[in-house]
Amino acid sequence: MTITIDTFTCVWCGLTVHAHAAGGQRRNHCPSCLHSRHVHDHVEGGPSDCGARMTPISIAVLRTGDWMIVHRCVRCDELTSSPVAEDDNRLILMRMAVRPLAQPPFPLEAFGDL
């Protein structure tokens, strides 16, 4: 009997990650640095021939309240979104969520009157 351990190595931080998260669903990004790889073509479906690294760019919130991570491929600029796993790095998640508020493009004083 052979035991197969399903792992992948993160292309950004080099961490060896188990391919299944704690909830049983399959991971598609590293839980430590949240980077991913462009292996799935979301437009046509099926495997993608890009294979480049995908950086997390923002946090999206579904109507159900679940968080999604929006990834962007560094090579072909494709955007994908994937659900947040339970053991994802919360510091990086929170940093991405508050990132727009650090440098707002308009003054925030006007919102105090609302």
Partner 1 sequence: MARRTRTDDRRRAQRRKDVLHGRGSGHREQDFRCAGCRLVVPLAAPGTAHRNHCPTCLESLHVDGRVPGDRAAACRGRMVPLSVSVRPDGEWLLVHECRSCGELSANRIAGDDNALALMRLALRPLRDPGVPGVAHGALLAL
Contact between 90 and partner 1 per CB under 8 A: yes
Interface residue with partner 1, options 64, 73, 75, 112 (CB under 8 A): 64
92 Cβ contact list (under 8 Å, min separation 6): 33, 34, 56
| Helix boundaries (H) for the chain | 90-102
Interface residue with partner 1, options 52, 53, 58, 82 (CB under 8 A): 58
First to last CA, the chain: 66
Interface residue with partner 1, options 13, 20, 66, 75 (CB under 8 A): 66
Contact between 45 and partner 1 per CB under 8 A: no
